[in-house]
Structure 1
């Protein structure tokens, strides 16, 4: 390769096939630039062995074309990258032999294929081999080369040409270092950010796994006593106790039913498939079920009319939805909880608003990432962590925003493509 046309593109990806393609484009660009330089030399009357120089450039063009053909035929890209870099060193040596040898300042361009080999070819063996070859050929240029090209035998012009070549070599080296170092620094920063995100996700997943194990154990431990208490309450003669005791008995039945419903929802959340159903009707049904469990909460809903588009809502979404409703209800106190829903372009948007309390920026930034101590009405606990993780797993996301007039909006976005009902 004679000159780099886009240094940062050479490292845009670590894929061998992409690296081969980018090296090929760099090589075509370098050949075009070399032809422009030859045209300038011809206009200036610089004496060059034109036949030999054109033969070297044609050889590199043929090699590049063969490499692209081999890539299309399924040849191993790493092997093609090595062949191309070897050709770069050999052709550059031939050009230097014809144009002054080691006195040609462009000899420092030997560094380019060596650098690309170190960055793009796994393992250090080939890079060291290429570096040794380049150093050996550079040493031979001191003894085996044609004279430095001149323009009509003008030594002063030849010296100015040498100085111009030194400047061009310095410019290429400076841009090369700036491009590579900045790109590598950017990649390092991206890898660090990705590593931090992976650690955070791993910690959250470990917490969720621990919670899941505890929930399964609790469900198993509670099922037997709940069934026993339900049988005892059902066998209790409602006429036997006093009126105030009969009211307590009804409360017991209601609470036991609530416990059984909670266990059923826990089992339902483990399911992964759901049949397509009208979204608006499904939301109304779920909100009515939640309202029956929390009759003391003032709930205001804004739902579109009709059944709505047919979608398959993952069962795991509903516990997350109820978590947000319960948080809003507990934070709102006597104020109403407002639920707005909209579906557009395959996305469900739910705004769950409580009009009381707010969160400081630090707590908003942590909400959903780590369990927080709940201090109603301005506290978020484990429920939001579970909701955040569930929505992330389903491809959605949760955003918490303080309202200027007071209160907090929990905005849920969930992908729900429309499906055909069976």
Structure 2
């Protein structure tokens, strides 16, 4: 089946925003026109005031109607086309009442055509350009003459001044709007770069997930074998107290491995439940200590109340990835502190040895880091960064001046309702 044909892409990534900006420009131009007409009236220049007022008032009313329609969710492309078409038609009517093509303001046909070419390239831009050229040509033959200003030299000087004013207005409009569109394009390029980086990270995570699924399948048999061997060793050496303690530790670690593989096979985590934040962190860190008795972990909870929050289960693997990295790179000593920053949790994980290179700091969380661990895969930081980003959190890595690496995790918190 063929994919549906998409509409022609516009130059600006945010068409409603561009249309609102054009509406603002139109209002400024209308205000300038009303002031010019008022000045001419005060100077005693004889002009057809009623048709001029009706033309300017009609364009003002059309602009208000289009703004109202845009606010109610109307077709943005149609609003853009109607607005630019009204600009050209009203300008032609005003020029027909004030000298036609001889009026130096006739060059103001150019900005609407340029805006159409920039914002809505294609058939409409060509149609508007053809309409502007046709109207400009007709104004050469059908128009009311300008009032008599006296000496030809005065008329010529006024014409030159009007041409300069028209050029100045056109230059300001074009520069301002093209600069605005260029800024929008730069923002879109930045968003595309971020999207490419996210896509690269997601592709790497998919590859890691496929590897993990294969590992889960492959590790089930060795884990069952090790569990049976531990049971046999416990049965055959029941009187050895030192060995019994080691076997108990092995059972706990094997149970942790089996639980992790079971969750991986199921592909889902339980829904988050309300829990006291800092007490839960302390409990989880105590469990981690039992698995890593070789590491000295200094936990520094903040003073004060312990809020009841909902923590996503996927947060914990990301959190302990960072602690494991810090423990293995920092000589077996890690400090973890926590505090609340408004409605967000800030965790600081510090190890006092080693450092990351400038290249590693630049690439942290985007590609697997080079790992100095004997069996390190260099993907722990990638996984932690991706998980925290999914939870609307962030991860910052900095080298400490006195040695070691400082990892700062910021995680928005979801407060649990009382009584849950």
- Aligned counterpart, 1:166: 163
Whether 1:185 aligns to 2:182 is yes
Deviations 1:245-265 (A, max 9, x none): x85676456335314303423
Match of 1:338 among 335, 338, 347: 335
Looking at structure 1, the residues matched to 162 and 338 of structure 2 have their Cα atoms a distance apart, in angstroms, of 68
- Aligned counterpart, 1:15: 15
Whether 1:354 aligns to 2:351 is yes
Looking at structure 2, the residues matched to 72 and 328 of structure 1 have their Cα atoms a distance apart, in angstroms, of 53
* Preserved contact between residue 233 and residue 249 of structure 1 (Cα < 8 Å): no
Q: Which moved more, 1:102-111 or 1:35-44?
A: 35-44
3-state secondary structure, aligned to 1:141: helix
The alpha-carbon distance between structure 1 residues 274 and 59, as it changes in their structure 2 partners (threshold 3 A), is closer
Q: Which moved more, 1:207-216 or 1:256-265?
A: 256-265
Match of 2:370 among 368, 373, 380: 373
3-state secondary structure, aligned to 2:336: strand
Whether 1:262 aligns to 2:261 is no
Looking at structure 2, the residues matched to 380 and 357 of structure 1 have their Cα atoms a distance apart, in angstroms, of 18
Whether 1:61 aligns to 2:65 is no
Looking at structure 1, the residues matched to 181 and 85 of structure 2 have their Cα atoms a distance apart, in angstroms, of 24
Deviations 1:268-293 (A, max 9, x none): 57416210100111011001001001
Match of 1:404 among 374, 391, 401: 401
The ranges of structure 1 where at least 4 consecutive aligned residues each deviate by more than 6 angstroms after the TM superposition are none
Looking at structure 2, the residues matched to 73 and 240 of structure 1 have their Cα atoms a distance apart, in angstroms, of 80
Q: TM-score, normalised by structure 2?
A: 0.87
Deviations 1:280-307 (A, max 9, x none): 1101100100100111111111113577
- Aligned counterpart, 1:7: none
Looking at structure 2, the residues matched to 42 and 412 of structure 1 have their Cα atoms a distance apart, in angstroms, of 67
Q: Which moved more, 1:181-190 or 1:214-223?
A: 181-190
- 1:241 to partner: Cα distance: 8.6
The alpha-carbon distance between structure 1 residues 385 and 342, as it changes in their structure 2 partners (threshold 3 A), is same
The alpha-carbon distance between structure 1 residues 409 and 185, as it changes in their structure 2 partners (threshold 3 A), is same
3-state secondary structure, aligned to 2:414: coil
- 1:79 to partner: Cα distance: 2.9
Whether 1:313 aligns to 2:308 is no
3-state secondary structure, aligned to 1:392: helix
Looking at structure 1, the residues matched to 214 and 382 of structure 2 have their Cα atoms a distance apart, in angstroms, of 20
Structure 1: stretches of 5+ with no match in the other structure: 1-10
3-state secondary structure, aligned to 2:51: helix
- Aligned counterpart, 2:6: none
Looking at structure 2, the residues matched to 345 and 315 of structure 1 have their Cα atoms a distance apart, in angstroms, of 22
Deviations 1:121-173 (A, max 9, x none): 4x52222111111101101111122223343x243332222111111111122
Looking at structure 2, the residues matched to 405 and 50 of structure 1 have their Cα atoms a distance apart, in angstroms, of 79
- 1:233 to partner: Cα distance: 2.8
Q: TM-score, normalised by structure 1?
A: 0.86
Looking at structure 2, the residues matched to 80 and 177 of structure 1 have their Cα atoms a distance apart, in angstroms, of 20
Structure 2: stretches of 5+ with no match in the other structure: 1-10
* Preserved contact between residue 226 and residue 256 of structure 1 (Cα < 8 Å): no
Match of 1:280 among 232, 255, 278: 278
Looking at structure 2, the residues matched to 113 and 252 of structure 1 have their Cα atoms a distance apart, in angstroms, of 82
> Counterparts of 1:16-415 in structure 2 under 5 Å?
16=16, 18-68=17-67, 70-71=69-70, 75-121=74-120, 124-151=122-149, 153-236=150-233, 238-239=235-236, 251=246, 254-255=249-250, 257-265=252-260, 267-268=262-263, 270-271=268-269, 273-304=271-302, 308-334=306-332, 336-375=333-372, 381-415=378-412
3-state secondary structure, aligned to 2:141: coil
Looking at structure 2, the residues matched to 308 and 238 of structure 1 have their Cα atoms a distance apart, in angstroms, of 45
The alpha-carbon distance between structure 1 residues 414 and 266, as it changes in their structure 2 partners (threshold 3 A), is farther
The alpha-carbon distance between structure 1 residues 26 and 187, as it changes in their structure 2 partners (threshold 3 A), is closer
Looking at structure 2, the residues matched to 263 and 206 of structure 1 have their Cα atoms a distance apart, in angstroms, of 27
Looking at structure 1, the residues matched to 283 and 270 of structure 2 have their Cα atoms a distance apart, in angstroms, of 20
- Aligned counterpart, 1:3: none
Deviations 1:343-363 (A, max 9, x none): 232211111111112223232
The alpha-carbon distance between structure 1 residues 63 and 339, as it changes in their structure 2 partners (threshold 3 A), is closer
- 1:177 to partner: Cα distance: 3.1
Looking at structure 2, the residues matched to 145 and 208 of structure 1 have their Cα atoms a distance apart, in angstroms, of 70
Count of matched residue positions in the alignment of Structure 1 and Structure 2: 405
